[in-house]
Structure 1
Amino acid sequence: MKNLLTLVASASTALAHGGVLTYNIGGKIYNGFVPYNTPTGQNTIQREWDSYNPIQDPTSSGMTCNLNGAVANEIATVAAGSKIVSYWTNPWPHTIGPMVTWMANCNGDCASFTGTGKVWFKIDQAGLISGTLATGLWGSGEMVNNNSTWTSTIPANLKAGNYLLRTETMAIHTSNAPQWYPECATLTVTGSGTGVPASSYLAAIPGVYSMSDPEVNIDIYSNANAGVTTYTIPGPPVYTG
């Protein structure tokens, strides 16, 4: 009976959360990693992640590319200026919180790239789009409205090379208990661009988020936040090239 209850609890947890499962890059579908399964035999552009559960400690090493984060065995080629569609668990259950897409230049082979330090830059983000903190339309709600997909555009003049693409949502529907869901995919960006983000666009992950940030340690249902219609996404500005 105890084992049965454990299985039921695990299944309920899995159903409550999720992540990015597949990508459409240039009209080609690429597999994400399938959590709860051995990496043996999985062909994927996505770094390994172990479960559908969120990360709730912003200082965790799992913030970089989720827990485990082992290197992907495939790489997708994408031209600078192209769109990438990330397919989240459908339907995605959390509609309150921002969406942020990051990239980091591997400066060579992504297989040996750890993603630590101030190497990450945003290529898009969406926070509170309209309405109030508690009842308005958020980036994550827009993702759900788009059939649980998020479309990002690689900056058109980005310098060619190998990059990690980090797709993230931060759910803040639970008071003072944010939930992060990040996944990383490996890309080779092509093109003749020369764009390299300046240091003002770069952030470390972990490091960019802190529980001391009011936008992170937030209770959207508090009296102080009643009627508030603005929200600042933590981190640097978006690099558009």
Structure 2
Amino acid sequence: MFFSAALAALALGVSQVAAHGGVLSYSINGQTYDGFKAYNTPTGQSSIQREWDTYNPLTNPTDPNLACNANGASLGSGQKSATVAAGSKVTAYWNQWPHAIGPVMVYMAKCNGACTTSTPSSLSWFKIDQAGLISGTLPNGTWGQGELIANNNSWTSTIPSSLAPGEYFIRHELLAIHTSNQPQFYPECAQLIITGSGSAQPSGSYLVKFPGAYSMSDPGVGIDVYSQPNVSNYTIPGPAVWQG
């Protein structure tokens, strides 16, 4: 009986991993950085990525873990940061992503001193990249997530070249909206040390908090794409992209 129950639990875990996912690694300036290994203890792990514990989504836009996923904790002595020049490209590699409907969004946040000791939900985030409905209609068109799948489950963004040096988080987020009126948020955070001679910092309406940036009343969050088969526009949630 115990053996059968264990097999059932394992099968459930495998099905959940297959259905959902997260960022598994990063490529920056030709160097690969392994991500945190979900479903494993953080003890002994070393990564530029913050801890995330499950492939399952967050489904509430006010979830306290929305900044960097559950639970978004620092790895302590195992927490690393990648040194990156402003203007560089960062590629995030996801697992075999199954959802083609929904936007891709990439944010950054300047840490208050060292990122390793910063609390992501207390920081001000700005968006550096996004892709929503690229062409076609809501239920059948080409989306940012469809492009991610077509590009070997990866997404490449450029850090604004004018961004001031310092320690930052980079936050990749997929918002899957293939389930009617039930958003699925998949945020992942990694730590960067930005170098360069830039001096620019976003302000005002470019800055948001997580949670706080989204609500179910946003047209791009609480949406049923299947009830609008002929609509060919989509409003990506969150602030406008800051380009420096």
Q: TM-score range by the shorter chain?
A: over 0.9
> Which structure 1 residue ranges, 4+ long, deviate > 4 Å from structure 2?
none
- Which residue does 2:146 correspond to in 1? 141
How many equivalent pairs are there? 238
TM-score, normalised to structure 2, is 0.95
Q: Conserved in 2, the CA contact under 8 Å of 1:117 and 1:203?
A: no
Q: Conserved in 1, the CA contact under 8 Å of 2:102 and 2:143?
A: yes
User: Percent identity between the aligned chains?
Assistant: 58
Structure 1 residue 107 displacement after superposition = 2.7
- Which residue does 2:180 correspond to in 1? 175
- Which residue does 1:130 correspond to in 2? 135
How many Å separate the matches in 1 of 2:124 and 2:202? 9
Choose the corresponding residue for 1:82, options 69, 81, 88: 88
Structure 1 segments unaligned to the other structure (5+ residues): none
Structure 2 segments unaligned to the other structure (5+ residues): none
Q: Conserved in 1, the CA contact under 8 Å of 2:84 and 2:194?
A: yes
Q: Conserved in 1, the CA contact under 8 Å of 2:107 and 2:128?
A: yes
Closer/same/farther in 2, CA of residues 220 and 238 from structure 1, 3 Å limit? same
Structure 1 residue 113 displacement after superposition = 1.2
Q: Which amino acid aligns with 2:84?
A: V
Q: Which amino acid aligns with 2:53?
A: D
Are 1:51 and 2:57 matched, yes or no? Answer: no
Structure 1 residue 118 displacement after superposition = 6.2
Are 1:36 and 2:42 matched, yes or no? Answer: no
Structure 1 vs Structure 2 CA RMSD: 1.0
SS in 1 for 2:124: strand
Q: Which amino acid aligns with 1:208?
A: A
Are 1:220 and 2:221 matched, yes or no? Answer: no
Q: Conserved in 2, the CA contact under 8 Å of 1:101 and 1:168?
A: yes
Q: Encode CA deviations 1:129-172: one digit per residue, 9 max, x unaligned.
A: 00000000000100111110000100000000000000000000
Choose the corresponding residue for 1:194, options 192, 196, 199: 199
How many Å separate the matches in 2 of 1:117 and 1:107? 9
Structure 1 residue 120 displacement after superposition = 0.3
- Which residue does 2:111 correspond to in 1? 106
Structure 1 residue 28 displacement after superposition = 0.5
Deviates more, 1:188-197 or 1:111-120: 111-120
TM-score, normalised to structure 1, is 0.96
Structure 1 residue 61 displacement after superposition = 1.3
